[in-house]
Structures are given as C-alpha cells and as structure tokens.
C-alpha cells in the first residue's frame, strides 16, 4: 500500500527511510512554537480538520478554492478538509467573542490540506503555526505579530542573516490601483498578478497588467521606491522599539494570494531567497464581519508559519539539534523470579516521573543490553537479591560506566543525579 503523494510519514528517530520525516523534530518545533507563543501572551485554540465547503468558498479567494480536498459526506453535506486556519478562527471568534476581552490573542498548530502541485517546499499536507490578534485596529498589533514571528524563527536557531521579513501593504497597492483608474471589482485580480510577479516572466506580467490598464514599468518603480506608508512606518517604529527593526524590510513585491487581506501584509523568507516563503500573514479587518453576516465586526491580523519550508531551511543551515531517543533507565531482567519485583519498581519510577522501560519477555542478556542502547537509556538497572531477603538494584550509568548497588529507596535519587552513581 502506497502513501498518497504529498503526504508524509513521521517516524521516531533515527528516521530509517530517506523519504521519512522525524516525529521528534516535529515535536521539537511544536514545543518551541508553543513556548514562544505563551511568552507573548497568546492562548491556544483548535477547531475541526473538516469544515463545510462554504467556509472556504465564501472569502478565501479562487487560488485556495482550487486546491481544496472537498467531497459530499454521507449526510449529503458539502465538506472540505481545512486548507488554512483563518476561516475556522473567524468562525470560532464570531461565535464566542462576547465572552472574551479584546484584543483576543490566540494561536493554533493545525494540520492543513491543499491539493497543490508538489514541489520543493510545497506538499499536500503541512502543519502551520497560526497566531492572530482580533479586536485591535492599531498597527501595534501588526508589530506584535511580526515580533512574534521573528522570535519563533530565532527560537529555532536562525540568526539575523538567515531570514528576513518583507513588509508591504494592500492599502498602498489599492491606492496605486485606484489612482490609475483601476476598477474595484478587478482589485483582487490585480493583487494576484503582483503576488506572482516573482514567479512569472516579465512579458507575461506586462501582458496581464496591460489588460487592467496598468503599466509594468510603474509597478516596478513603485516596488523599487520601497517608501513606507504612514501605517507601515508605525509598524516599523514599533519593531524598532522591540529591538527588531533589522529583521524587516519594506518590500512591495509582497501582496499575498489570499483574498481577505485588507491592510499591511508580510512574508518571511530565508536570507538568500532560495526557498519559498516560510511564513505569511497580514491584516484582514473585514473577514469577521463578512463571515458572521455583520454580527461580529472586529478588525484582525495574523500569520501562518509552515513546518515544511522551515524544516528544509533548518536542515540546510545544520540547525536541527540531535534528536536521539532518551530513556532515564532500562531495567534488565536476568532472573525471571525477580520479574514481579522489577515490574513493581518500574511502575513506581514511572509514577515518580521517570521514563523507564524493560523487556516484555524473556531475552538473552546481550539482547536486553542492545535494546537499552537503542532506546537511548541513560542508565541500566537490574534487581539482585540482597541480604536478609531484600532486593537491591545494580545501577549503571552507561556513558561513564559508573556502577553502584543501591537499596530500592535510593534509585530515584540516583536517576535524578542527586547521588553519585558510582560507589568508587
């Protein structure tokens, strides 16, 4: 049975197959993201991976709608796997916002599904850290989000020259378009053309722009100007105050593909521009109103950071930490008569918070020892009959080979490193 193209298998380390992904690396990323998000005062939420199809056809825009994994369920409902989190967030907030003080600062780590053409950095399933601030129109919210994005990337070990955040504004592009007589109903088409400039030939872009009455040369001049609007200046000032201005540059080549963005938009890229976007987001002040039929009219901004490009980049920069399996102790059972007493002790140590494993069935000593090594055990333990019918444990610290015999009551302290593991 083959895995579907564009989907991934995650294995425990060491990953045995060249096309396998590391479960420990995935968990390492998630743990890091959660820690940084909490430091920024964001709270975690989640929603279902399957939503009504309408949630996406309403406001996300054509590009993502063409990539939906959608079908009719057995009840005849048109449903879709989630391709992004923002519509789910808007639905949750519209239903519950009266119960939360504003601004709402929430994050999530959903798995998302898009039927995309498979290429470097793009799969048909990925995990995406999402952070959004709802109910705050001030550009301080946009700056807070960009600061969070920078610290998420720095938290993975990336330094200032490894990545940059390109900041732009749909407001700036809207003014540009309208000043040149662009029709409001063609505005999204215009953004789509600008969004694809870096991936389309200049001749093709010029032809597409021509059909909207816009000259390619003027677009290039506007991008080259890189003059921040007042709104963008305020975001830059905020980032300056955070001490993070150096990570961000004004870059009007960014406009974002999704339909709902209304104001400042940004994307993060690797410093050499060799990978696809690591993250992207922006302000979407009308989405909640549109999705709630006017019930919840709240400004919002946020971003999504994907695990696929980030992992490629961390690998390239050799920033993936060693992710070996680790176990506090592996219990060797050589005398089967001591198995019940061993299980008791295994259980007590696990209850005390240690990770402990043991052979489930009788096995030769060398096999047991090899298993201890494979599981990354720090210590091996073995019960032995002591004096006067008591049992004692032989504790071995595998790295130093230090060994000692200890009464059961002292094992926890030895594993914690509170007592020397060698008597000598």
Of 301 and 383, the one with the shorter C-beta distance to ligand HAM is: 301
Of 111 and 362, the one with the shorter C-beta distance to ligand HAM is: 111
b/e code 255-273 from CB counts within 10 Å (16+ = b): bbbbbbbbbbbbbbbbeee
Of 209 and 279, the one with the shorter C-beta distance to ligand HAM is: 279
Q: Binding of ligand HAM at residue 306 (CB under 6 A)?
A: yes
Sheet holding 377-385, edge to edge: 356-357, 327-332, 377-385, 391-397, 403-407
Question: Minimal distance in Å, beta carbon 290 to ligand HAM?
Answer: 15
Angle between helices 187-195 and 170-179 (to 10 degrees): 120
Kindly tell me which residue out of 107, 303, 330, 358 binds ligand HAM, with binding defined by CB under 6 A.
Answer: 303
Question: Minimal distance in Å, beta carbon 400 to ligand HAM?
Answer: 43
Q: Binding of ligand HAM at residue 302 (CB under 6 A)?
A: yes
Question: Minimal distance in Å, beta carbon 114 to ligand HAM?
Answer: 5
Q: Which residue has the tokens 């380390």?
A: 13
What's the token pair of residue 211?
């059909």
Distances, alpha carbon 397 to alpha carbons 162, 218, 401, in Å = 39, 70, 5
Gap between the Cα atoms of 292 and 58, Å rounded: 11
Site for ligand HAM in 67-126 (CB under 6 A): 84-86, 114, 116, 122-123, 126
Site for ligand HAM in 220-259 (CB under 6 A): 258
Identify which of 179, 316, 187 has the alpha carbon closest to the alpha carbon of residue 255.
187
Of 120 and 416, the one with the shorter C-beta distance to ligand HAM is: 120
Q: Binding of ligand HAM at residue 304 (CB under 6 A)?
A: yes
Q: Binding of ligand HAM at residue 279 (CB under 6 A)?
A: yes
Distances, alpha carbon 68 to alpha carbons 115, 280, 306, 338, in Å = 6, 19, 18, 58
From 74-82, 179-187, 211-219, 296-304, span contacting ligand HAM (CB under 6 A): 296-304
- Residues lying near ligand HAM in the complex (CB under 6 A): 84-86, 114, 116, 122-123, 126, 128, 130, 132, 258, 277-281, 302-304, 306, 308-309
């Amino acid at each position: 049975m083959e895995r579907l193209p564009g989907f991934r298998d995650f294995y425990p380390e060491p990953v045995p197959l060249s096309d396998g992904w590391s479960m420990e690396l995935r968990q390492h990323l998630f743990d890091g993201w959660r820690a940084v998000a909490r430091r920024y005062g964001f709270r975690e939420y989640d929603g279902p991976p399957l939503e009504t199809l309408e949630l996406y056809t309403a406001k996300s825009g054509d590009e993502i709608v063409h990539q939906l994994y959608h079908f009719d369920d057995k009840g005849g409902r048109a449903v879709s796997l989630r391709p992004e989190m923002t519509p789910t967030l808007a639905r949750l907030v519209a239903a519950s916002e009266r119960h939360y003080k504003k601004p709402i600062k929430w994050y999530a780590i959903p798995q998302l599904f898009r039927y995309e053409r498979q290429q470097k950095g793009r799969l048909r399933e990925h995990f995406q850290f999402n952070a959004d601030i709802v109910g705050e129109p001030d550009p301080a919210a946009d700056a807070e989000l960009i600061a969070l994005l920078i610290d998420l990337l720095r938290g993975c070990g990336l330094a200032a020259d490894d990545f940059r955040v390109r900041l732009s504004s749909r407001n700036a592009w809207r003014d540009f378009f309208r000043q040149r007589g662009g029709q409001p109903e063609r505005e999204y088409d215009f953004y789509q053309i600008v969004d694809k400039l870096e991936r389309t030939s200049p001749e093709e872009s010029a032809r597409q722009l021509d059909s909207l009455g816009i000259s390619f040369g003027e677009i290039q001049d506007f991008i080259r100007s890189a003059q921040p609007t007042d709104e963008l200046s305020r975001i830059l000032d905020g980032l300056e105050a955070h001490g993070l201005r150096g990570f961000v540059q004004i870059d009007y080549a960014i406009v974002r593909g999704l339909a709902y963005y209304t104001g400042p938009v940004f994307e993060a890229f690797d410093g050499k521009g060799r990978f696809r976007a690591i993250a992207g987001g922006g302000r979407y002040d009308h989405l909640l109103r549109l999705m709630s039929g006017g019930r919840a009219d709240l400004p919002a901004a946020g971003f999504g950071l994907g695990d696929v490009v980030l992992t490629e980049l961390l690998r390239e920069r050799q920033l993936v930490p060693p992710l070996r399996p680790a176990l506090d102790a592996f219990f060797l059972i050589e005398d089967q008569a001591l198995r019940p007493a061993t299980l008791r002790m295994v259980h007590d140590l696990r209850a005390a918070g240690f990770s402990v494993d043991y052979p489930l069935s009788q096995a030769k000593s060398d096999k047991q020892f090899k298993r201890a090594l494979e599981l990354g055990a720090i210590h091996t333990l073995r019960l032995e009959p002591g004096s006067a019918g008591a049992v004692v444990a032989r504790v071995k610290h595998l790295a130093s080979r230090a060994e000692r015999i200890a009464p059961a009551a002292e094992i926890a302290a030895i594993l914690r490193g509170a007592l020397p593991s060698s008597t000598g």
